[in-house]
Amino acid sequence: MSTATAAGSSLSIPIGDLPPEEVIFGRSEIMQAVRQKVEKLAGMNVPVLIQGESGTGKEIIAKLIHKRSPWREGPFVKVNCPAIPATLLESELFGYEKGAFTGAYGSKPGRVELANRGSLFLDEISELEPALQAKLLQLLQDGEFCRIGAQEDSRVQLLR
């Protein structure tokens, strides 16, 4: 006699396994175009800027792009930019080496490094101060960044 297991009857299906129309709702032409863009961009190793009003699904689109990308098995690292104080953001993002500043007793990888071979989601990036946006430019253009206090640029392979 066969019995259905809890796992077999689970309602939770990874979004990467669902067709995009079941993750991102909306039948309008605009939403269809958004889904097509998601499919196209997911296969490209490029930074993606997602703009839209509050609650319009920017985060769900970012997750879907990650889950449809070649690096779907890698990490999806979210950085809520406004939630991290500006003074800590650089070390949070880029990490630091031992002795880089008072209190840096060890080295620590930043979120950028944790997102290696995955996707880095910079939520509310427009809230970042311009100086940090400029530092991110080098990362987005060349995949290069530097831990605070490090001698040479460390390279990180990021999907976007």
Place of tokens 């979004």: 15
Q: Is 24 in the site for ligand ATP (CB under 6 A)?
A: yes
Candidate residues 22, 59, 144, 153; the one interacting with Mg ion per rule CB under 5 A = 59
- Residue 145 and residue 83 in contact, taking contact as beta carbons nearer than 8 Å: no
Should residue 82 be labelled a site residue for ligand ATP when binding is judged by CB under 6 A?
no
Interacting partner of 55 out of ligand ATP, Mg ion, none (Cβ under 5 to 8 A depending on kind): ligand ATP
Q: How far apart are CA 120 and CA 74, in angstroms?
A: 10
Task: Return the sign of the alpha-carbon dihedral for residues 16, 128, 109, 87.
Answer: negative
> Which of 35, 58, 72, 78 contacts ligand ATP by CB under 6 A?
58
Partner whose footprint covers residue 21, from Mg ion, ligand ATP, none (CB < 5 to 8 Å by kind): none
Q: Which residues, in sequence order, are bridge partners of residue 122?
A: 79
Which positions touch Mg ion (CB under 5 A)?
A: 59
